[in-house]
Amino acid sequence: MINASLKELAAALAARKVSSVELTQEFLGRIDRFNPDLNAYITVDAGKSLAQAQTADEKIARGEAGPLTGIPIAQKDIFCAKGWRTTCGSKMLGNFVSPYDAHIVEQFDKAGAVNLGKTNMDEFAMGSSNETSYFGQVKNPWDFDRVPGGSSGGSAAAVAARLAPAATGTDTGGSIRQPASLCGLSGLKPTYGVCSRFGMIAFASSLDQAGPMAKSAEDLALMMNVMAGFDSRDSTSLERDKEDYARDLDQPLAGLKIGLPREYFADGLDVGVAQVVQQAIDQYRKLGAQTVDISLPNTRLSIPVYYVLAPAEASSNLSRFDGVRYGHRAPEYTDLLGMYCKTRAQGFGAEVKRRIMIGTYVLSAGYYDAYYLKAQKIRRLIAQDFAQAFRQCDVIMGPAAPGTAFKLGEKTDDPVAMYLQDIYTIAVNLAGLPGMSIPAGFVPGNDGKPLPVGLQIIGNYFSESRMLGIGHAYQQATDWHTRMPAGIM
C-alpha cells in the first residue's frame, strides 16, 4: 500500500480491503523504523492519529466518505493543529501546543483525513536545505549524506521515503518545489491567496503560500480540492468559487505552447540537470506540445529583491516571539528588556537572526527608500515579465533547482550559495503565480547514487488545474514519479 496513489488508497478503503486504522498503523510503523535516521518528523502522536483513523472508519461504514477520508496526511510543522505541539522548527516554539487548528488542518479534518504527524522544517521556514531546524537536519532518502531541500524538507523526505502518502508544505521562495525536485516527488505552490494562511505561522506574509506535496500530479489535484478555499479569517484569502482541480487531468496537450526562458538555461545550471530537463521537454513535444523561446530579463534580480523583502516582513512577523505570551522564555533576566533580549537570543537560530537583522536594517530610517521601496518596484517589473511571457505561451518550463541534492554541511558557511538554490523559484512567489515541480529523471552523484531532478512548470494566475493536467500527461507517459529510494523498503 505504501506505493499506492491517493485514489487507489481511497478505493481500497471503500472496498474494505484495508481499514484506515490498518493503513495508519502501516505508516506509523514505517515512521518508527526509518524516522530515527531520516528525522523527517518532529512530532508523532500515534494515539491521536489512530483515534482519527477510527472515526474515519466509522464514517466510511456509514457511507459518508469523501476522496481523502481515512487517508493519512503529514502536516508541515508550520501549521497550527489543536492539541499538537507546533514548533516551526524552532526552540522559540519548542514547548508550544496549539489551542486551535490552521484553516488547512481544519479542511483536512473535515475531509476525514488522518493527521499522521508534524514534519521537520527549516526554522521558521528560513532555509533551502532543512539544516536550520532546531530539531536537527533532515536526510534525503535517496542519499542520507545529502540534504532534502527546504524549507519543506521534512514533508518531502516523508513522502519520498513512503512515511506518508502525501504531505502539506509551504512555499515562500521555492520551499515546496525545490525539495520536491531534490527528493523526486511532485509539489505545487498555488496562486497566492488560493489557500488560506490562517494558522500558518508567518515568515513573509506577501509571499507565503500553502501547497500539497505528493507522488503525482493526480494526488496533488485531490489534495488541492481539500486545501483551496476562501477563509474570512485571512485578509489575503481570495473569495472565489470552489473548483475541481482534477477536471483537466485528461486534457490532451495538442496545441499547448511551452515557453522556455533563456535565463533558466544559462550559466549556473548543472549540465546533468539541464540534460534531464531538456529530455522532459522533448517528451512534451512528442505529446503534441510546441515550444517557444521567451525571456524573463529581471529574473537575475529576484534573489536580491527577495532577500530585501522577505527579511523585512520576517522582522515584523517574528517580533511577536518575545517570551511574554507563549513559547520559550529565558530562565534568568533582571528586567523586561533583558527578558526580551535573552529570550530572542536563545530562542532563534543563526539564520533567523541574520534575516531579522537584515529586515530591520532595510526598514530603518534612511534605508527604506534605498532598499525596500526599490525592491518593491523591481518586484512589479518581475511580474510584468511574466505577464509579457504569457502573451506568447500557455505555461513556462525549466529546472526547479540549479543542481541536485548537495551534501549535508556543504553550503552552511556560505549563505549566498544557499540562497542561489532558489534562483529559478523565487520570481514565481514575487509575482504571486502558481508553480509546480514534477520528477523528470535522475543524475548520478559522485558515489553513483541516483539523485532526482525536478521539472518546473509555471502557469498564469489560477491555472492550477491546467498545470496539473499538463503534469499528469507527462506522468502517464513516464514512470519517474513511481521510483522509490533504495534501502527504505
Q: What is the predicted pLDDT for the residue at 442?
A: 98
Nearest CA to 358 out of 416, 413, 409 is that of 416
Residue 256 lies inside a defined structural domain of this protein:
no
Q: What is the predicted pLDDT for the residue at 359?
A: 96
For 357, other C-beta atoms within 10 Å of its C-beta total 12
For the annotated catalytic residues, the residue numbers are 76, 151, 175
Residue 26 lies inside a defined structural domain of this protein:
yes
Q: What is the predicted pLDDT for the residue at 1?
A: 87
For residue range 369-399, list pLDDT tens digits in order: 999 999 999 999 999 999 999 999 999 999 9
Q: Report the domain count for the chain.
A: 1
Q: What is the predicted pLDDT for the residue at 152?
A: 98
Q: What is the pTM of this model?
A: 0.97
Residue 159 lies inside a defined structural domain of this protein:
yes
Nearest CA to 125 out of 164, 174, 159 is that of 174
What does the alpha-carbon distance between residue 31 and residue 341 come to, in Å, rounded to a whole number? Answer: 38
Residue 175 lies inside a defined structural domain of this protein:
yes
Q: What is the predicted pLDDT for the residue at 487?
A: 76
pLDDT level of residue 365 (50, 70, 90 thresholds) = confident
Whether the pLDDT of residue 489 is over 80: the answer is no
Residue 102 lies inside a defined structural domain of this protein:
yes
CA–CA distance from 56 to each of 62, 79, 111, 268, 377 (Å)?
10, 22, 9, 48, 49
The CATH number for 59's domain is 3.90.1300.10
The CA-based angle 483-76-220, given to 5 degrees, is 50
What does the alpha-carbon distance between residue 218 and residue 222 come to, in Å, rounded to a whole number? Answer: 7
For residue range 297-347, list pLDDT tens digits in order: 999 999 999 999 999 999 999 999 999 999 999 999 999 999 999 999 999
Q: What is the predicted pLDDT for the residue at 100?
A: 98
Q: What is the predicted pLDDT for the residue at 215?
A: 98
User: What is the span of the domain harbouring residue 135?
Assistant: 6-251
Q: What is the predicted pLDDT for the residue at 66?
A: 95
**Beta strand 186-189 with 210-214: parallel, antiparallel or unpaired?**
antiparallel
Residue 485 lies inside a defined structural domain of this protein:
no
Backbone angles phi, psi at 324, to 5 degrees: -85, -50
* 236 alpha carbon, distance to own chain's centre: 19
Residue 263 lies inside a defined structural domain of this protein:
no
Residue 155 lies inside a defined structural domain of this protein:
yes
If 0-12 CB within 10 Å is exposed, 13-18 middle and 19+ buried, where does residue 264 land?
buried
pLDDT level of residue 4 (50, 70, 90 thresholds) = very high
